[in-house]
Amino acid sequence: MGYATKLVFYIIPLILLMVVVTIFFGQSGVWEDLKETILETKKVAPDLGFGDNELNSSQYLTPKKHRDKIEKLSKLINETMLKEGNTNCFVKGPVFEDLTDGDEKTSFSFVRMPGEKSKLVVHSGAGGKQIDTSMQYEFEGMVPCVIAGSEEITKNFVSRFFTNPSSNGGDYYRPVSAITFSYKEGITTDDGNGISVADFGEDPVNDEGDNMENNGWLFTPGGKQICFFPTNKATNADDDGIDNDFFDNPQVKLCS
């Protein structure tokens, strides 16, 4: 593959990523540093290839405790969840330790790309501003989604899968363009590992800090959409997500 072709191959996805993140991180405040980091990637686009310019183990930016779990999560999605025939089933994924250690921060984002494909981008290092180019993942056919965004969605989900299994009406998940997992400072809740959603602006979900208390559970309605669970601490279902208590020991159908 020639240099010009490689450049086009990398620049096109990066432009879309920049557009999504500009919308997502353009809100102000906590998102400004991450927006600047994404915009910096255009300067190193040719080096962001899969298998090209890989770092050796001594150069890894991402702490091993986070790296191992991000790799496990990616493997679960690709090898277990993205399968035809997986219908309304759940997978127990890894539970992450704090995604911050002083000035060292880790965050990772699932970003939907053209052609029903998603990519995972990992930021690590001082201030969490550097893209870890040794961690590059693609998910063919994956559409990110969340169980959040409206009270109707979360109530329908809780009823259908936790409190009234015979219920099957209404929307119960929402496809989105990008989801980020990071250590968040909550506006209305405690600080902690949290989920942010590109499509929601400053509210819902995005103003919540410690809203990743889902014990690692993921859900797919049809082997294509991969849904994540923002949580709350007091309400069965609202636009910010569903109660973290539902994930203590859920009796659910597991993906095969």
Burial 128-144 (b: 16+ CB within 10 A, else e): bbbbbbbbbbebebbbb
The confidence score (pLDDT) of residue 224 equals 95
What is the pLDDT confidence band of residue 252, given thresholds at 50, 70 and 90?
very high
Which residue would you say has higher pLDDT here, 43 or 169?
169
- pLDDT tens, 48-77? 333 333 444 445 689 999 999 999 999 999
- The percent of residues in the chain predicted with pLDDT above 90, rounded, is 64
Q: pLDDT value at position 146?
A: 98
Q: What is the band of 202 on the pLDDT scale with cuts at 50, 70, 90?
A: confident
Q: Which residue has the higher pLDDT, 83 or 20?
A: 83
In residues, how long is the chain? Answer: 256
Vertex 193 angle, CA 118 and 211, to 5°: 90
Digit-coded pLDDT (tens) for 153-197:
999 999 999 999 888 889 999 999 999 999 998 777 789 999 999
Determine the pLDDT at residue 107.
96
Whole-number Å distance between alpha carbons of 127 and 61: 12
